[in-house]
Amino acid sequence: MKRFLYIIIVLTCLTACQKQTVQPKVYGRFVPERKDDFAWENEYAAFRMYGPALRPENPSNGVDLWLKASPELVVDSFYYREHVLGLPYHINYGKGLDCYKVGHTCGACGLVVMVDEDPEDKIYVGGAYDRWEIIEQTPEKFVFRLEYDTLMVHGHPLKESITITAQAGQMLNRADVVLTGKDDYEGIMWVGGGICIHDSVDNVYTCDHCGIAAYAEDALSDKTAAKMNYDYNGSTSQGRAYMAILIPNGASTNVQDDVLYCVRPYNFGDTLTYFFGACWSEWSNGEESFPTDQDFFDAIHL
């Protein structure tokens, strides 16, 4: 009898545990089926960075943005829909879409480097990553590292290591960047995040004291994505895409060459930490949403 009761108790506990299984709120993985993408998502948006198999197409070390309609995880379903079902993730079927154009730019809050007294006055970005590593993966937290063997800055090859942390309940990802190389620059090196602007600089919000650079644009600013969505549903309106960078304790912000940057002075070998994230005017989570540009800017400022 005691043994029977023990079995009943064990089975009841197992059933209860199964019912209480925590649903992941953040997620990420290496995506070999899409030319070595590394993709991840938090509750507010999904992102990807480009790997070695895409190198012949001259990608950058920038960040691509996928808009999400809710906190639901979408990365695997988007890739499945695109590569198995032949339904492009550039079209919104109700869950969100990939409509942000990166090209060879910093994209949506990727790493940028600038150097004082650079005669070309350039904003430097790199190419595809060389190695990836998942450091921690739980339902509430996802941490990974990408290593870049060559980041050319002002004629000098540098190495870049970027560790990105996504945590449940937090819109902004954390990026910890370390650059190493030959330190013989005449001017100060500035490092941080940048946002490629496809729309108007009137949609920019900055605060140097707060270390914030934020931007909003028409979600279908890319003509290809606009045409695909129009052909599918007869509309060129998919709301607004939002992006933001935050460097704690202040930063220098400005717009140059269609890039909104948020940077600070950097010493080789140090770890620079900046935070970045994104959302969509069509996103909602219960009563939480950001229907206007100002709603998003206010949320970042807090």
Question: In this predicted model, what pLDDT tens digit does every residue of 131-167 receive, in sequence order?
Answer: 999 999 999 999 999 999 999 998 889 999 999 999 9
CA dist., res. 148 & res. 179, Å (int): 10
Tokens of 81: 């829909």
42/301: higher pLDDT: 42
Are 111 and 125 in contact by the 8 Å Cβ rule? The answer is yes
Mean confidence (pLDDT) of the chain: 92
- In CATH, what number does 27-301 get? 2.70.98
Q: What does the pLDDT read at residue 286? A: 95
Q: What is the pLDDT of residue 12?
A: 47
Average of per-residue pLDDT across 70-97: 96
Q: Report which of 33, 21, 140 is spatially closest to residue 76, judged by C-alpha positions.
A: 33
Residue 196 has pLDDT above 80, yes or no: yes
Amino acid 99 reads: C
Instruction: Give the C-alpha separation, 41 to 141, whole Å.
Output: 10
Q: Count how many residues are written for the chain.
A: 302
Please answer whether residues 74 and 48 qualify as being in contact, where contact means their C-beta atoms are separated by less than 8 angstroms. Answer: no
Measured distance CA(121)–CA(118) in Å, rounded: 5
12 or 60, higher pLDDT:
60
Average pLDDT of the segment spanning 164-190 = 91
Share of the chain above pLDDT 70, in %: 92
Which DSSP state fits 69?
S
Instruction: Provide the residue ranges of all domains of the chain, joining segments of one domain with +.
Output: 27-301
**Best CA proximity match to 125, nearest among 194, 210, 52, 36:** 194
d(CA 95, CA 268): 42
Angstrom distance (rounded) from CA 128 to CA 53: 9
